[in-house]
């Protein structure tokens, strides 16, 4: 649903009976990217708000989740288990080959772009303990990650990209 502020009009955007999740606006506000189970698996889709045209971007047996547009709208980052484990990927906003940007084994999820589009922050999750392994950032081109916090979730960049706020996990230290 899209609600026009100050809360006077609500419009249902997607109408498929399958679940649609984790939506993100394109920078120009013309599209939404989201995960959907309408193909029998969680894949990425976009919808043009003006026309209602929907396009399936991914078709992979693994679940593709948490999509988010880059600040310039040219790319989409998301998490997926397509290579075993859960990793962060980047793909062209109009669809195409996805490129893994995180290294090593782990469970990485919920990518967030830095304002200049050069870094992706993400949560490292430890499924065996059910706790957060902290927040990390990696260059969009890939490479080694740098740890931003030992605990926490949901990275949020400052407008200039010079700092990153994270919500602490319950009973977390950061």
- State pLDDT tens for residues 86-134: 999 999 999 999 999 998 777 898 899 999 999 999 988 765 555 567 8
Cβ partners under 8 Å of residue 68, min gap 6: 24, 33, 76, 77, 78, 111, 112, 113
- The pLDDT of residue 174 is 40
Q: How far is 79 from 168, CA to CA, in rounded Å?
A: 21
CA separation, residue 29 to residues 66, 91, 130, 154 (Å): 18, 19, 35, 22
Half-sphere exposure of 115 (CA within 13 A, CB side): 9
Specify the pTM.
0.83
């Amino acid at each position: 649903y899209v609600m026009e502020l100050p809360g006077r009009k609500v419009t249902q955007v997607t109408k498929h009976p399958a679940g649609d999740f984790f939506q993100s606006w394109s920078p120009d506000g013309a599209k939404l990217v989201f995960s959907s189970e309408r193909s029998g698996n969680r894949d990425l889709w976009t919808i043009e708000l003006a026309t209602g045209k929907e396009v399936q971007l991914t078709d992979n047996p693994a679940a593709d989740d948490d999509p988010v547009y880059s600040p310039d709208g040219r790319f989409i980052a998301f998490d997926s288990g397509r290579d075993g484990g859960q990793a962060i990927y980047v793909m062209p906003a109009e669809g195409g080959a996805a490129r893994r940007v995180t290294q090593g084994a782990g469970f990485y999820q919920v990518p967030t772009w830095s304002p200049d589009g050069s870094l992706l922050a993400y949560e490292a999750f430890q499924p065996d303990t059910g706790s957060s392994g902290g927040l990390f950032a990696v260059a969009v081109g890939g490479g080694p990650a740098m740890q931003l916090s030992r605990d926490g979730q949901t990275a949020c960049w400052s407008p200039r990209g010079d700092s990153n706020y994270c919500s602490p996990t319950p009973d977390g230290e950061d």
